[in-house]
């Protein structure tokens, strides 16, 4: 019975084999900029790049549409992140100013 459990665990390990690669910080930063959403993994980004490369060879027009969609998603993410940071900065500034107004009234 224990052997069956071990075999199942070995099968899972083989299916999900993972390796580590060394890349330059600049390459990592470029991959980061290609993420369409914050939780997208580098594995997903690299697979997307490879998919687009293969698709470009087979159907360049379709690949161009896909790249345009991805580019729009990335731009949308950047705009969202900028607005979110501006809102956080505004709230932080309000918190910093709040004690000053209280001490001047007391």
Number of H helices, E strands in the chain: 4, 0
Write the CB contacts of 38 (distance below 8 Å, at least 6 apart in sequence). 77
pLDDT digits (tens, 9 = 90+) for 9-23: 555 555 678 899 999
Q: How confident is the model at residue 28 (pLDDT cuts 50, 70, 90)?
A: very high
Q: How confident is the model at residue 7 (pLDDT cuts 50, 70, 90)?
A: low
């Amino acid at each position: 019975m224990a052997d069956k459990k071990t075999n199942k665990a070995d099968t899972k390990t083989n299916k999900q084999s993972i390796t580590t690669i060394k890349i330059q910080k600049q390459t990592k930063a470029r991959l980061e900029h290609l993420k369409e959403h914050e939780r997208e993994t580098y594995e997903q980004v690299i697979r997307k790049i490879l998919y687009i490369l293969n698709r470009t060879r087979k159907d360049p027009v379709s690949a161009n549409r896909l790249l345009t969609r991805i580019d729009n998603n990335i731009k949308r993410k950047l705009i969202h992140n900028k607005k979110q940071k501006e809102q956080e900065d505004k709230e932080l500034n309000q918190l910093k100013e709040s004690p000053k107004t209280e001490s001047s009234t007391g």
